Amino acid sequence: MTNAFQPGQASLSEAEQKMIERRERLLGPAYRLFYEHPLHIVRGEGVWLYDADGRRYLDAYNNVAGVGHCHPRVLKALAEQAGLLNTHTRYLHEKLLVYAKALLATMPGTERQAMFTTSGSEANDLACRIAQLATGGSEFIATKLAYHGGTHLIAGLSPSLGPHAAKGPNAWLVDAPDGYRRSADVGAEFATGVKAALEGMRNAGRRPAALIVDTVFSSDGVFTDPAGFLRDAVDAVRTAGGLYIADEVQAGFGRTGSHWWGWQRHALSPDIITMGKPMGAGYPMAGLAARPPLLEGIGRSRYFSTFGGNPVAAAVGQAVLDIIRDEGLIANAGAIGEALLDGLRQLASIHDLVGDVRGAGLFIGVELVSDRRSKAPAGTAATRVVNALRERGVLISSCGPGANVLKIRPPLCFTGEHAGILLAELDTVLGTLN
Per-residue pLDDT of the chain (434 residues; tens, 9 = 90+): 334 434 444 467 888 899 999 999 999 998 889 999 999 999 999 999 999 999 999 999 999 999 999 999 999 999 999 999 999 999 999 999 999 999 999 999 899 999 999 999 999 999 999 999 999 999 999 999 999 999 999 999 999 998 777 788 899 999 999 999 987 899 999 999 999 999 999 999 999 999 999 999 999 999 999 999 999 999 999 999 999 999 999 999 999 999 999 999 999 999 999 999 999 999 999 999 999 999 999 999 888 899 999 999 999 999 999 999 999 999 999 999 999 999 999 999 999 999 999 999 999 999 999 999 999 999 999 999 999 999 999 999 999 999 999 999 999 999 999 999 999 999 999 999 87
Q: With contact defined as beta carbons under 8 Å apart, do 340 and 423 qualify?
A: yes
Specify which residues 398 forms β-bridges with.
406
Name the percent of the chain in helix, strand, coil, to the closest 5.
40, 20, 40
Question: What's the whole-model pTM score?
Answer: 0.94
Q: Go through the chain and tell me how many residues it has.
A: 434
CA pair distance 392, 385, nearest whole angstrom: 10
Instruction: Name the CATH architecture for the domain at 9-67+328-431.
Output: Alpha-Beta Complex (3.90)
CA pair distance 220, 177, nearest whole angstrom: 9
Note the pLDDT of residue 11: 65
Q: 358 vs 107, 121, 169, 222, CA distance in Å?
A: 26, 27, 33, 7
Note the pLDDT of residue 8: 44
CA pair distance 149, 157, nearest whole angstrom: 8
Listed by start position, the domains of the chain span 9-67+328-431, 72-326
Note the pLDDT of residue 185: 92
Q: Considering Cα of 251, then 255, then 257, then 260, what sign does the dihedral take?
A: positive
CA pair distance 53, 357, nearest whole angstrom: 35
The residues near 322 (Cβ < 8 Å, ≥ 6 apart) are 73
3-state secondary structure of 31: coil
CA pair distance 141, 132, nearest whole angstrom: 13
CATH class of 72-326: alpha beta
Note the pLDDT of residue 276: 97
